[in-house]
A and B are shown apart, each in its own frame.
Chain A
Amino acid sequence: DAGVTQSPTHLIKTRGQQVTLRCSPKSGHDTVSWYQQALGQGPQFIFQYYEEEERQRGNFPDRFSGHQFPNYSSELNVNALLLGDSALYLCASSLEGGPWDNEQFFGPGTRLTVL
């Protein structure tokens, strides 16, 4: 049973560029959340996707956008990259209406470096 997978593992971009990160949820899960983890900090909630719609959003600018596909996989897009966007981007999946529907399982993350 595959857990949450993310690609790519590492990514280097320059300021102003755009980036797309990908996530496949744990088998049987239908909800995907994205988090940003700066070095030495706890993860910060970016947004959550369920039924291909963004249904919750944290305190992140519109440069951060996402998408969920019919197979529940998801993408995170970041436009006009800033140096401060350098972080570990984590995807977490969960099952809506499950016995512990808050329970989220995290992937290994994508390390984004903006130069």
Chain B
Amino acid sequence: QQQVKQSPQSLIVQKGGISIINCAYENTAFDYFPWYQQFPGKGPALLIAIRPDVSEKKEGRFTISFNKSAKQFSLHIMDSQPGDSATYFCAASRVNKIIFGKGTRLHILP
């Protein structure tokens, strides 16, 4: 049973464009929704996170939009740069156990 579904699997965006990655979850008990960025050969790095009582959170070029009733959340990367090319994972957590999506491979064209 896949508790966190992530789409698309891969994404190609032009430099300066907006990258959008979507996730959906099933368990309404989740209370923490982080996004991680992972470069090849490295561990995941926490990018931004949100609690379900907030509908949007912005940090620099990264924004999480959260729809509690639809059980969906998304990551928007504004003004995407080649250095943003990486794999992005959405996740959901309850009592410290993090469930990850399968990841989105993002490639930003120069």
In angstroms, Cα B93 to Cα A35, docked, is 14
Query: Which of B39-47, B54-62, B66-74 faces chain A?
Result: B39-47
Which of B6, B93, B100 makes the CB contact (< 8 A) with A102? B93
Which of A42, A92, A100 makes the CB contact (< 8 A) with B101? A42
B-side contacts of A33, CB under 8 Å: 96-98
Verify A101–B96 contact, CB threshold 8 A: yes
Tell whether B20 is near chain A: CB-to-CB under 8 Å: no
Knowing A42-B89, A90-B44, the reply to whether A102 touches B32 (Cβ < 8 A) is yes
Tell whether B49 is near chain A: CB-to-CB under 8 Å: yes
Knowing A102-B32, A103-B34, the reply to whether A42 touches B100 (Cβ < 8 A) is yes
Most chain A C-beta atoms within 10 Å of own C-beta, residue among B32, B36, B98: B98
B interface SS class: strand
Tell whether A27 is near chain B: CB-to-CB under 8 Å: no
In angstroms, Cα B42 to Cα A9, docked, is 11
Kindly provide the distance from the CB of B60 to the nearest chain A CB, expressed in whole angstroms. 18
Knowing A31-B96, A43-B100, A45-B97, the reply to whether A103 touches B46 (Cβ < 8 A) is yes
Q: How many A-B residue pairs have CB under 8 A?
A: 64
Chain B's interface size range is: 20 to 34
Verify B102–A106 contact, CB threshold 8 A: no
Verify B89–A108 contact, CB threshold 8 A: no
B-side contacts of A48, CB under 8 Å: 96-97
A-side contacts of B103, CB under 8 Å: 40-42
Kindly provide the distance from the CB of A66 to the nearest chain B CB, expressed in whole angstroms. 15
**Chain B residue with minimal CB distance to A96?**
B96
A-side contacts of B34, CB under 8 Å: 102-104
In angstroms, Cα B30 to Cα A27, docked, is 27
Interface set of A (CB-CB < 8 Å, partner B): 4, 31, 33, 35, 40-45, 48, 56, 58, 90, 92, 94, 100-109
Report the 9 A-B pairs with minimum CB-CB distance, sorted nearest first: A42-B100, A102-B32, A106-B43, A102-B93, A108-B43, A106-B44, A109-B43, A43-B100, A42-B102
Interface set of B (CB-CB < 8 Å, partner A): 6, 31-32, 34, 36, 41-46, 49, 89, 91, 93, 95-103
